[in-house]
Amino acid sequence: NIVSISAIEVLDSRGNPTVEACVVLNDGTSGRAIVPSGASTGNREAVELRDGDLGRYQGRGVLKAVANINDLIAPVLIGRPADEQRRLDHLMCELDGTDNKSRLGANAILAVSMALTRAAASHYRQPLYRYLGGSNAHLLPVPCLNVINGGQHASNNLDFQEFKIVPHHAPSFAEAIRMGEETFHALKTLLAERGLGTGIGDEGGFAPALKSNEQAVELILDAIEAAGYRPGEDISLALDPATSEMAEGDGYRFSRSDNVLRTADEMTDLWQSWLDRYPIILLEDPLGEDDWAGWETLTRRLAGRVELVGDDLLCTNPELLQRAIDQGVANSVLIKPNQIGTVTETLECVTLANRHGYGCYLSHRSGESEDTFIADLAVAIGCGHMKTGSGCRSERVAKFNQLLRIENELGYQARFAGRDAFRTRRA
Ligand code: PGA
Ligand code: ZN
């Protein structure tokens, strides 16, 4: 049973405060977790509680969320068994009482929820991925490395937020990581040779000033070849343009590059032309979070050629995902535990997606930490593909390292998901 729950304010990878919770059980085992934080957040995400006290951390302190754990959540959960995850998560939601976790803060609730999972896993002396996923958890995800950063994650002239490489043609996760890292380093050499910047953005990808969004794709294709791989065969591309950030009225303004305002139809034409030209297998948020009509048309036109992932659109929210299923929108959902705020609801979203043939694409946030919970979660749910940043920065590669450990521990039982993990064919 739980004997104590406590929290403190710690830092994320951008140097902003975030919440760390610790759960201790009466057998002496414990679990600790740190929550991440997004920059290009969806409007319907659960609320991250910030103090708003401009005298501390520019208003970004999380002492209220910390106090909510120590003073409000702890008294309700202490004495209960840590392995009743659903019940404990439900109790926290009830205590919060709002539908977006704005009273206690999703950062407070999720920190405890994840720490509870870890404590229960350690009580049963099981690795986290096995405790969460059972004895059949064995599928290692394809890592999608965000090698060029733009949009809200960099101060360059790229409208689109994430340009990713997808090393899917590999016998193992370890070999996929090697392919990804070799390409990442080839890209650095190539940028330097062409007189372009090699400084990095929030997720560890390069953030050069380029002529156009297309140039970012072309540089990456050159880097794949320079590293000795075949674009499309060995390594494909994935994009998260995060278009909610570009929404203006009914259209999308490319304010960083050509400053043109495009309609949803013009955006869909643009994606179609990119799919014709480039080996792209996954498109996330190709249209904005309020553009359900545009998404319907886009899904009809492009599903079957490319995985269409809803991030800001769906916010890891089972109700929004159900709406997408009913309306034939997207064919995959981004899974970010802090968008919904408990481990239980995250797993509910995964279950719903699985039941309807939607993909689950697991994700970090742009503000991360050394916490590797999502690495274990990827194997537990067998989602087959995930994004956790570029090829550098310890808060990003910490997840790779944890997956390398898991693959090694599973030994011959481990299987690498490969290209089949992507929803690129019609069902
Ligand atoms: P965020 O970006 O963590 O800043 O929201 C990630 C994403 O848009 O997928
Ligand atoms: Zn996104």
- Which of 342, 344, 336 has its CA nearest to residue 386? 336
Classify residue 47 by its DSSP letter. Answer: P
Q: Output the pLDDT for position 426.
A: 58
Which token pair is 110? 């999720």
Rounded CA-CA distance 36/12 in Å is 7
Determine the angle formed by the axes of helices 343-355 and 85-96, rounding to 10 degrees. 110
Query: Nearest residue CA, atom 1 of ligand 1?
Result: 38
Q: Which ligand is nearest to the CA of 366?
A: 1
Q: Which atom of ligand 1 is nearest to the CA of 202?
A: 4
Please give the chain's pLDDT, 427 residues, in tens: 999 999 999 999 999 999 999 999 999 999 999 999 999 899 999 999 999 999 999 999 999 999 999 999 999 999 999 999 999 999 999 999 999 999 999 999 999 999 999 999 999 999 999 999 999 999 999 999 999 999 998 888 999 999 999 999 999 999 999 999 999 999 999 999 999 999 999 999 999 999 999 999 999 999 999 999 999 999 999 999 999 999 999 999 999 999 999 999 999 999 999 999 999 999 999 999 999 999 999 999 999 999 999 999 999 999 999 999 999 999 999 999 999 999 999 999 999 999 999 999 999 999 999 999 999 999 999 999 999 999 999 999 999 999 999 999 999 999 999 999 999 985 4
Annotated binding site: 153, 161-162, 240, 284, 311, 336, 363-366, 387
Q: What is the pTM of this model?
A: 0.98
Q: Which ligand is nearest to the CA of 40?
A: 1
Give SS3 for 373.
Answer: helix
Q: Tokens 């990804």 map to which residue?
A: 180
Determine whether 164 is an active site residue: no
Q: Which of 20, 48, 203, 245 is catalytic?
A: 203
Q: CB neighbours (10 Å) of residue 34?
A: 23
Beta 261-262 vs 251-253: how paired, if at all? antiparallel
Rounded CA-CA distance 263/271 in Å is 12
Q: Within 60-196, where are the H helices?
A: 63-67, 74-77, 85-96, 106-123, 128-133, 173-193
Q: CB neighbours (10 Å) of residue 58?
A: 12
- Beta-carbon neighbours within 5 Å of ion ligand 2: 240, 284, 311
Strand order in the sheet with 261-262: 247-248, 251-253, 261-262
φ, ψ dihedrals at 291, nearest 5°:
-95, 60
Helix, strand, coil % (nearest 5) of the chain? 40, 20, 40
- Asked whether the beta carbons of 149 and 207 are under 8 A apart, the reply is yes
Q: Which atom of ligand 1 is nearest to the CA of 365?
A: 3
- Which of 426, 161, 159 has its CA nearest to residue 299? 426
Q: Which ligand is nearest to the CA of 48?
A: 1
- Which of 106, 105, 44 has its CA nearest to residue 323? 44
- Asked whether the beta carbons of 204 and 389 are under 8 A apart, the reply is yes
Q: Which atom of ligand 1 is nearest to the CA of 387?
A: 9
- Asked whether the beta carbons of 12 and 107 are under 8 A apart, the reply is no
Residues with CB under 6 A from ligand 1: 38-41, 240, 242, 311, 363, 365-366
What's the gap in Å between 258 CA and the centre of ligand 2? 22
- Asked whether the beta carbons of 204 and 185 are under 8 A apart, the reply is no
Determine whether 336 is an active site residue: yes
Q: Output the pLDDT for position 155.
A: 87
Q: Which of 101, 164, 188, 336 is catalytic?
A: 336
Which token pair is 388? 């956790």
Cα dist. 357→269, 421, 427 in Å?
A: 26, 12, 8
Rounded CA-CA distance 82/393 in Å is 33
Give SS3 for 241.
Answer: coil
